[in-house]
Amino acid sequence: MKINFTKMHGCGNDFVVINATMDLQNWQPSVNEAAFLLDRHFGIGGDQLLIIYPSEIADIKMTIFNPDGGEVEMCGNGIRCCALYAKNHKLVDKNKMTVETLAGLIKPVIEDECVRVDMGEPKLDAAEIPVTGFSGKVINVEPPIIENNFVLPSMNCVSMGNPHTIFFVDDINAVPLAEVGKEIESSFIFPNKTNVEFAQVLDAKTIRMRVFERGAGITLACGTGACGTVVAGILSGKLDNDVTVILDGGELNISWQGEGTPIFMTGPAEEVFSGEVEK
């Protein structure tokens, strides 16, 4: 069976997008199918697989799969691509829409070349993130012990519907991200594993961030990671409420007015090419 797909990216975070609103409504990819589609040598290649289904509670539903075949709750760059695809391919006939995800209802708005997304309120309680061994907020706490010789600074944990662990460093280029990220991702204190972000504060309105994504490895950008990092920076007194996040693949604008309010993410999304693949 042949499946039509579209390759998209947001700040270099790339996705294989499949429209399952018609013929594929009952299709759920197996671990092997997801891994094959995302394989950069033998498949199409991408950081994540996005499948768009009909929804009974929103305009559309987005499901997300990693290269290891695991399904995840949310993806900030993915939601922007999903929204732009839905508008371009006439699944939704408006610029403001609702998208059902495992992290809840997300509300993207298409604005010219960018998509602005109400990402909801970040979760800050250890039990909700989840991270074991802590209670309440997990901000500026002692990090877990890792075997790598790199000395970890204070740890911050935030959930944007998916778990993030953030470290602020003086020199982001000195971080051995692949080795350290992989070890932290699977630390015993994270029962659902975690996404790992390292950030360098350039000034109160600008940070440089790199990410090791859970189940995917190093990627060029992570929208939920950018949101979680800004939340951690604001709570730590390092950042203002509106921040530009410089990623390996581009820039995102993140705005948060503090606890009890939603966080907003604005950034680009782009279709790269379309094709068909044998399932």
| Segment 20-56, tens digit of pLDDT | 998 888 888 999 999 999 999 999 999 999 999 999 9
Predicted local confidence at residue 113, as pLDDT: 81
Angle of helix 223-235 relative to helix 76-88, nearest 10 degrees, comes to 130
- Considering the candidates 11, 75, 114, 157, report the single residue annotated as catalytic: 75
Which of 229, 140, 148 lies closest to 181 in space, CA to CA? 148
CATH 1.10.10.60 fits 2-116+268-278, yes or no: no
**C-alpha 177: how far from chain center:** 17
pLDDT of residue 61 exceeding 90, the answer is: yes
The C-alpha atoms of residue 225 and residue 165 are separated, in whole angstroms, by: 9
Predicted local confidence at residue 2, as pLDDT: 86
Mean pLDDT value of segment 240-258: 98
What pLDDT digit, counting tens, does each position of 9-19 carry? 999 999 999 99
E-assigned strands of 29-122?
Answer: 48-53, 60-65, 71-72, 99-101, 104-111, 114-118
Mean pLDDT value of segment 170-187: 96
Mean pLDDT value of segment 258-275: 97
pLDDT of residue 276 exceeding 90, the answer is: yes
Beta 114-118 vs 99-101: how paired, if at all? unpaired
Count Cα neighbours of 272 within 13 Å in the Cβ-side half-sphere: 16
pLDDT of residue 279 exceeding 80, the answer is: no
Mean pLDDT value of segment 175-187: 96
Predicted local confidence at residue 112, as pLDDT: 83
Count Cα neighbours of 21 within 13 Å in the Cβ-side half-sphere: 18
Predicted local confidence at residue 36, as pLDDT: 94
pLDDT of residue 262 exceeding 90, the answer is: yes
Residues in the chain, overall count: 279
pLDDT band at 76 (very low <50, low <70, confident <90, very high): very high
Which of 232, 240, 145, 243 lies closest to 188 in space, CA to CA? 145
pLDDT of residue 106 exceeding 90, the answer is: yes
- Considering the candidates 11, 82, 157, 222, report the single residue annotated as catalytic: 222
- In the chain, % of residues over pLDDT 70: 100
Active site residue 81: no
Domain boundaries, the chain: 2-116+268-278, 138-261
What pLDDT digit, counting tens, does each position of 129-157 carry? 999 999 999 999 999 888 888 999 999 99
CATH 3.10.310.10 fits 138-261, yes or no: yes
- The chain-wide mean pLDDT, for the chain, equals 96
Predicted local confidence at residue 235, as pLDDT: 98
The CA-based angle 129-130-133, given to 5 degrees, is 125
Mean pLDDT value of segment 71-88: 96
The label of the residue with tokens 């820039």 reads 251
CB 216 within 8 A of CB 177: no
pLDDT of residue 126 exceeding 90, the answer is: yes
Predicted local confidence at residue 147, as pLDDT: 87
Predicted local confidence at residue 53, as pLDDT: 97
Beta 206-213 vs 217-219: how paired, if at all? antiparallel
Active site residue 222: yes
Backbone phi, psi, residue 227, to 5°: -65, -50
